[in-house]
Chain A
């Protein structure tokens, strides 16, 4: 059944999209910075998973555990040392700054890994399974579950851990948080580190499904953008809502107009949402 196929694909893809976007959304929501390095972080995570598998036969599931702290530190350092100096500057400066940093990272990856596409093929391959007469590759399914788990982890961090509550406080009202005694600079660095860690882990998962190349970083970034605008910034539920909506619209659009137009459709949707409902489905108004 076509409808079931579209729906199941959308569910699977939607969770993956949410996973790609959640780190980006966190950074944008808390630091008010549009992190253009996000796409490259994802690709770097994918390369990490690939290298660990090719070189040491370490399974991607372990790669997740290795990636998280590595990327957290990377993100923390970048924010603390470089980004924090311009954090109060207007969007023009911060956006261009992350663009510059992304150029450096992306170029470095092209230099070391070359631009050719690589694929992480698990041996033995995981095969596929049939749900409601719809064929779903198992690696995609497992990646989806892992993606949901990651977003769940972030949700718990923001809800239960003290540092998570501080992050939410800064997101809601930076000045009030300062008055409450929160070390905002520290929180900024932690949030950015978390965003990087989530991106790195998302990259590990993407390695299982999509080909890996530095040239794909803009595609991931683009998806993250659209998900955030559709779903609303800074919240896990927003990323999930946006991811599912995007995947659904792409699926339906693909079926009606052909897959080639999927990207155009998503960006056109982005612009429509920005004009009509910039806070997204679940976001709060007034977040510039």
Chain B
């Protein structure tokens, strides 16, 4: 196991200790941190590893949220609803991926971006099933009081993060990861050496959607109420990209650190500049892209991190 992966596991293990130190606020923050890390790690599979800059993360976050939400509202337990949300997202993504990933560059970015709109409108219009624009109420999964609720959901999200990290590591060490790396570097050559690029890209897209959908499901159960414009929010697509850019594309450890750093920034800004918080976010994005295009990892690249950069 490479050094970078080891550190990642240590980091995640460390995060698990959060409930020992925190009250409700820390738990809430920790849950969101885990969720952001899941989104960023998942995006990295299709964006950093395969080289296809997807803006579809929000589409599958919302899809997972609604799949789980609808199932939970109909009485299914959490242990069933979340995996189904994940698997459902995987299948939809893999199928769509076969068609969408034939597009390159800008066209792919736009197509993936449009998925958010299409999914949102579909959910909006399926009022009988999803409550449409009026939103969906989700019954409380654990009712042993506020703290137990918060701790419970923190660990569920944390568990999902662990699973995502394991998935990402397994991919990068496997033939799939090697192939995706080939596709990123030179798709023509990848085809020529016998790689079924369409299949690989579809799987990558599916994997990038799977845990995102699961996270959406956990989110829905956690907040008890969702509506289309809440979960199908383009920010859920852009934030993971910013996190990956902060940490350095391609490296799971970097991306995770990027997620935590981003959350830290977001909290600070929210608490101090609430009225202009999205404006400040915009400024952060602009400055980041102008001055640190290779992310924080690039700052330490000259030192002993260099060899662990690309798992």
Contacts and interface: CB of A to CB of B under 8 A. Distances in A.
Interface of A: 28, 32, 34, 82, 85-86, 89-93, 95-97, 99-108, 111, 218, 222, 225, 229, 260-261, 263-264, 267-268, 270-271, 274-275, 278, 288
B293 A93 contact: yes
B244 to A, nearest CB: 9
B306 to A, nearest CB: 23
A103 B110 contact: no
Interface residues of B, number: 41
Nearest to B290: A85
Contact of A96 (B102, B105, B285): B285
Interface in B80-130: 99-100, 102-107, 109-111, 114-115, 117-118, 121-122, 124-125
B282 interface: yes
B75 interface: no
Contact of A111 (B99, B100, B102, B279): B279
A111 B125 contact: no
A100 B281 contact: yes
Given A104-B283, A108-B279, A111-B279, 13 more contacts: A82-B286, A85-B290, A86-B290, A91-B109, A95-B55, A100-B285, A108-B276, A263-B121, A264-B122, A268-B118, A271-B100, A274-B107, A288-B106
B241 interface: yes
B135 to A, nearest CB: 17
A107 B279 contact: yes
A27 to B, nearest CB: 12
Interface string B270-287: 000001111101111110
- Interface of B (DSSP majority class): helix
Given A96-B289, A229-B110, A278 B242 contact: no
Contacts of B286: 82, 97, 100-101, 104
B96 to A, nearest CB: 9
A267 B109 contact: no
A34 B110 contact: yes
Contacts of B49: none
Given A90-B53, A96-B245, A99-B238, A111 B281 contact: no
Nearest to A86: B289
Contacts of A108: 276, 279
Nearest to B103: A274
Contacts of B118: 264, 267-268, 271
Contacts of B111: 270-271, 274-275
A288 B107 contact: yes
B117 A103 contact: no
Given A99-B238, A270-B114, A93 B279 contact: no
B279 A104 contact: yes
B247 interface: no
A38 B123 CA distance: 27
Q: Which of B55, B102, B285 has the most CB of A within 10 A?
A: B285
Contacts of B64: none
